[in-house]
């Protein structure tokens, strides 16, 4: 074999080796760099990226309370009014979790209803806002969150539901439900939800069990 042919063969082998090396490195970077970084940004423990972790933790704390499911109408004080601490429904989990952060949905919903009462559901045939009950109704909370431009896309992608997000469901038969995405996940990485559907505040794998009709991320603007 001539020297020229030997050089051509040598350079060809070097080129193939270099190409193979670069391909492996690129593949490794794509997998460990972009994918892992994306996972990190959606990690429940990443406080820098998830500003709502404190709401999720406040909701999880509610699961330690013994609450009897009871949605009776009661006269309560205003602001920061609450029904008896031993009773509550799904909306009370949300209300009390926000109160842990010093955010009073009773006041916020009432003030918004005074500003635009016509925007809220008429199913209860009220003629004016009622500070005793308005904030404790799921359709009203959904309307409020929508009006605050807090809506997020409704998807079937579990990674879209981050700790501190609010989720609402249609249970059928005219019943709606609401809960808070927790910092914890099921074995398949589906986020667990803090909610009260009848047995008190619980941490359950129910995100995709019912039809999702609302997905929100809300905190008042400073």
Name the residue ranges covered by the structural domains of the chain.
1-41, 53-216
Spatial distance between the Cα atoms of 199 and 174, rounded to a whole number of angstroms: 20
Measured N-to-C along each axis, helices 90-100 and 138-147 cross at an angle, to the nearest 10 degrees, of 50
What is the mean pLDDT of each successive set of 10 residues along the chain, which is 222 residues long? 49 43 33 30 46 93 98 96 98 98 97 98 96 98 98 97 97 97 96 98 98 96 72
Spatial distance between the Cα atoms of 62 and 143, rounded to a whole number of angstroms: 24
Spatial distance between the Cα atoms of 90 and 86, rounded to a whole number of angstroms: 13
The pLDDT value given to residue 221: 78
Tokens for 2, please give them.
Answer: 């001539």
Q: Which CATH class is domain 53-216?
A: alpha beta
The pLDDT value given to residue 50: 56
Q: Where are the beta strands (DSSP E) in 62-174?
A: 68-69, 87-88, 166-172
The answer to whether 183 and 45 have CB atoms below 8 angstroms apart is yes
Instruction: Measure the CA angle with vertex 68, ends 197 and 98; round to 5°.
Output: 70
The answer to whether 77 and 110 have CB atoms below 8 angstroms apart is no
The pLDDT value given to residue 169: 98
pTM (two decimals)? 0.79
């Amino acid at each position: 074999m001539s020297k020229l042919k030997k050089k051509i063969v040598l350079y060809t082998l070097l080129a193939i080796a270099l190409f193979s090396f670069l391909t492996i490195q690129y593949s490794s970077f794509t997998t460990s760099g972009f994918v892992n970084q994306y996972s990190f940004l959606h990690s429940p423990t990443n406080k820098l990226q998830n500003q709502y972790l404190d709401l999720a933790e406040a909701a999880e704390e509610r699961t330690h309370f013994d609450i009897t499911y009871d949605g009776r109408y009661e006269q309560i004080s205003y602001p920061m009014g609450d029904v008896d601490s031993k009773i509550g429904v799904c909306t009370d989990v949300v209300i009390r979790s926000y109160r842990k952060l010093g955010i009073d949905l009773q006041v916020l919903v009432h003030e918004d209803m005074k500003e635009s009462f016509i925007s809220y559901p008429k199913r209860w045939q009220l003629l004016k806002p009622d500070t005793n009950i308005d904030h404790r109704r799921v359709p009203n909370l959904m309307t409020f969150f929508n009006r605050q431009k807090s809506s997020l896309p409704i998807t079937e992608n579990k990674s879209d539901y981050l700790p501190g997000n609010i989720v609402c469901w249609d249970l059928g038969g005219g019943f709606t439900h609401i809960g808070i995405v927790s910092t914890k996940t099921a074995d398949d990485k589906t986020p667990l939800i803090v909610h009260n559907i009848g047995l008190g505040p619980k941490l359950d794998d129910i995100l995709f069990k019912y039809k999702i009709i609302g997905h929100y991320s809300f905190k008042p603007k400073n």
